A and B are shown apart, each in its own frame.
Chain A
Amino acid sequence: MIEFRMPSLGADMDAGTLVQWTKRPGETVKRGDIIAVVDTDKGAIEIEVYDDGVIERTVVEPGQKVPVGTVLAVIREAAGASTVPEPVALPAPSSAARARPVSPPVVRPAPSAGAKRISPAARKAAEDLHVDLTGVEGTGPGGSVTRPDVERAAARGRGPAATAPAGDHRSAMRSAIAAAMSRSKREIPHLYLSTTVDMSQLLAWLAVENEKRSVTARLLPIAALLKAVARAATEVPDVNGFWAEGGFRAGPGVHVGCAIALRDGGLVAPALHDVALKDLDALMRDLRDLIARTRAGTLRSSELADSTITVTNLGDLGVESAFGIIYPPQVALVAFGRVVQRPWVVDGRVEPRPLMTATISADHRAVDGRRAALFLDAVNRWLQQPEAL
């Protein structure tokens, strides 16, 4: 028997409220299936199961708020199935050569045809606002019903007096960010490095590439920045992973937490999985999907727990450089600023060049300045050969 427990969806979470079971006792589940929806400070999250098996019984009822680690359900293992350890359990650190089984890719079933897709946040809002979901038109990804859809339906149904419960969530998210950042600054001795990246190669290559592409297939610099980080993190794995129980544990793959601002305030940094293994087209597609689902409130548990390094890009806001606060238990955060035209010396001559400041904040317990410098230099080097990304 396997005990399915309330997962920790980040360092700042200590409890969650079960919103609903999406699978029932007696149903067969496969690794990666969404088994339940849990409401957290980051919105309603779809919880994935880590094992193949049959649900024996559920222990916690919808509406109950329980601490992380509480048994939610009991799953009977599929015959002959090997059990993959849950990522929540952090093994004791040992030599750098410690090998940890790499999680197999999680295959997600396509939504069944005809069934209406409803985001967990929308489901929660419908419950709070007493909206009948059958009459709500979906405008989210793939026609799914999102929280704003429900709020609009509620406003139509009940006139201007109807208000959304968004304020509660916002203040909860604020508290969660405060807790994680305070812990980071209390516990992590940050070191900060910065470098200036000449972006002319990358931007010129993107312009030529995008000229050939339809608007639906265009690339943005952020895809190349993420890939360069993943390439560099593969070369210098010291920055990619976790500090836990007094030691560093390298990440299983490069899962980049992407800081995504919510439209009504707040911030979530869900993981873009296996960035080192994806080409720029796949990264554009997956990042677009991740942004849409972050804002619609339909993230999955693995996306909130798996990040091995975080990237923030404040360039669109006109900021030239940023030194971020590491999200524990990660050990590094990379920040990119705005691209600015500046004089730059090339082959002994001053030329105007598009320049960008890249920085890294690293946990000095896990990484020394020299290794962090090698990493940042590798990011720069990869950005000088965009066709190789």
Chain B
Amino acid sequence: VTRSEIQSGVLQALADVAPEASAETLRSDVPFRDQVDLDSFDFLNFMIGLHTRLGVEVPESDYSKLSTLDSAVAYIEAKLGR
């Protein structure tokens, strides 16, 4: 899995829960929650989307490591052992 595939998987999983999130306007170094309206149920569904699309299982204790697009991609890259 390439970095850009991971990135597009993350963006798709985000768009599934927040259709207004657009890849063009989303800033990769700013927390998702500051740019997109995500409640705790949306965030859990986002984590489930990452599991479905990319096969990563994110433990609850690691949620804070996926707060931005950049950090989420880096976390998943490491997790997939690239």
Contact = CB atoms under 8 A, between A and B. Distances in A.
A220 interface: yes
A220 B41 contact: yes
Interface residues of A, number: 20
Contact of A263 (B37, B40, B48, B60): B37
Contact of B58 (A215, A221, A287, A317): A215
A220 B40 contact: yes
A288 B41 contact: yes
B47 A215 contact: yes
Contacts of B51: 214-216
A192 B18 CA distance: 34
A367 to B, nearest CB: 30
B41 A287 contact: yes
Q: For this complex, into which size category does the number of interface residues on chain B fall?
A: 10 to 19
Contacts of A218: 44, 60
Contact of A220 (B19, B20, B44, B61): B44
A201 interface: no
B81 interface: no
A317 B37 CA distance: 9
Contacts of A214: 51, 57
A379 to B, nearest CB: 19
Interface string B20-51: 10000000000000000101110011011011
Given A148-B19, A216-B51, A263-B20, A207 B41 contact: no
B20 A222 contact: no
Interface of A: 139, 148, 207, 210-211, 214-216, 218, 220-222, 261, 263-264, 287-288, 291, 316-317
